[in-house]
Amino acid sequence: MLKRKISDFLVDTGIITKDQLSEAIERSSGDDVERQLVDLGYISEAEIAKNFAKQLNLGYVDLAGYDINPQAAALISNEHIRRYNVIPINLKDDYLVVAMADPTNIFAIDDLHVMTGFDITPVVTGETDLINAINKFCTNDDVVEEAIESISEDFADIAARSGEERDAEEAPVVKLVKLIVTEAVRERASDIFIEPQEYDLRVRYRIDGVLHEIMRSPKQIQAGIISRIKIMSGMDIAERRLPQDGRFGLVIDKRPIDFRVASLPTIYGEQLILRVLEKESISMNLDDLGFLSEDLKRFKESFTKPYGAILITGPTGSGKTTTLYGVLNLINSDASNLITVEDPVEYRLHGINQVQVNAKTGLTFASALRSILRQDPDIVMIGEIRDEETATIAVESALTGHLVLSTLHTNGAPAALTRLVEMGIEPFLVSTAVDCIVAQRLARKLCTKCREQFVPTEPELKGAGFVIDGNEPKVLYRARGCKSCGETGYHGRIGLYEVMRMSETIERLLVGDVTAEQIAKVAATEGMSTLHQDGLAKVKLGWTSIEEVERVTMK
């Protein structure tokens, strides 16, 4: 009944129309009308909360940017915060200010009054912001302490000697590992590093491309944590001398998450690196990755052709696979036979035949490609071109009527051409087969809640690489830091791109003995923007900062 009243209030105040409400009601299961309105794009979650507060004559709080008083938050246990879906945010005289998504829950308010002894002042906030704040402040420090206290030296010795599964299944270790991976997902980490040190165990998260130390634990719990993760990912816990690979999946906050695990023996024990793979991100659209309109147009023209090779280049962790999946999502159709060969298969894509490389059984990129070409594919995606044999098959496939997508490790787009020639591919074959090369990097995006505007000086603009011609930016943004972005000044990442299409001039150059620098000069005259120039364009738009572009690119 309450939900319908909020919806009616939105209609009465003209924020949504009756037709929009009717559509949301038809899509809803009876108690999620507001969620449907948000999903349909008719209103934001924050607007619903603001109008709910207005309707009840209460205050509204944007928790994403609010500095929560830790003394207030500590007055209610984690258990009750989660049970009542509330979080105390401030103390004012005899009043405890509590943020709620549903402040009409008088039973929760009465119980909190009895538990704390304070009069409760409810304020309204968005449900997603509330969940994020609860997840952030309800840290399971007790779990860490319990694990440290419960795992004795005897346990560590037993786990180190026998590696028995039952040792790693002890409850404190299970809880601690769950805490590490859950908090990583909630903090938007792309990787988790479990790193044995001489006297302790270090845990770090890579967030927006930068590593942050999260915790250090006593050395005695190292064996338990590593054994638990190896069991979860299907590794041999008795083998500690050789690297291993594995993976496991969890549902965290109702989102399916995959973890790809790699172990590496070090002098202080096995280091584990967990790559966090969120399945929802496979539906990523190219328009969301940060391409500027002209580069995106040039790129799309290449993969809408029925044949030719398209290469994505860049270092490890630069988002090459995400870009490839973005292309696959666009070109995948029932009319095409699309086959991929990957190492490993990071995401499962609906309607696409995916092959997992397995070197132990002899299933390499080259051997898989030879078999794939007998399956009459229209489009082939190769995870990475690593050797001459794979490169030869890829080039020949592009020349015989197939659209080939792949990645290569080079510093820039022009260098990909010379790299293929160095692998042993004839220059005239490379020039004919390759249609487009995209080099990319990932730069951190400025936090929109706290980014700071400033007027750059002429020396600052020149130092950054801007041309002083009257079109230089008059105002730019820089990182500042707030609660929403963890005081880093950045939130999320955006791609920087260098899109090079093959032309007759570049083809003729390649057949001769040329360098990547010579090819780059010609490509620039034909309209290619370098990674640094693309970064400066995004600085000008306020998407990132000069410092971040300089960190990830070369002028």
The confidence score (pLDDT) of residue 195 equals: 95
Q: What residues in the chain have per-residue pLDDT under 50?
A: 1-4, 140, 152-170
The confidence score (pLDDT) of residue 150 equals: 58
CB burial of residue 546 (10 Å; 0-12, 13-18, 19+): buried
Model pLDDT for residues 324-361, shown as the tens digit of each residue:
988 988 888 888 889 999 887 777 777 889 898 887 78
Model pLDDT for residues 224-277, shown as the tens digit of each residue:
999 999 999 999 999 999 999 898 999 888 888 989 999 999 999 999 999 998
Residue 5 tokens read as 């009243």
The confidence score (pLDDT) of residue 159 equals: 46
The confidence score (pLDDT) of residue 548 equals: 93
The DSSP 8-state label assigned to residue 363 in this structure reads: B
DSSP assignment of 269-311 equals EEEEEEEEEEGGGGG--GGGTT--HHHHHHHHHHHTSSSEEEE
Mapping DSSP onto H, E and C, the string for 390-452 reads HHHHHHHHHHCCCEEEEEECCCCHHHHHHHHHHCCCCHHHHHHHEEEEEEEEEEEEECCCCCE
The confidence score (pLDDT) of residue 169 equals: 46
The Cα–Cα gap between 242 and 248 comes to 20
Residue 189 CA, chain-centre distance (Å), reads 7
Residue for token pair 């401030």: 90
The confidence score (pLDDT) of residue 469 equals: 85
What is the four-CA torsion angle of 416, 420, 421, 426, rounded to 10 degrees?
A: -130
Helices 171-186, 141-150: axis angle to 10 degrees equals: 150
Mind listing the domains of the chain with CATH numbers?
A: 6-126 (3.30.300.160), 171-278 (3.30.450.90), 286-441+494-529 (3.40.50.300)
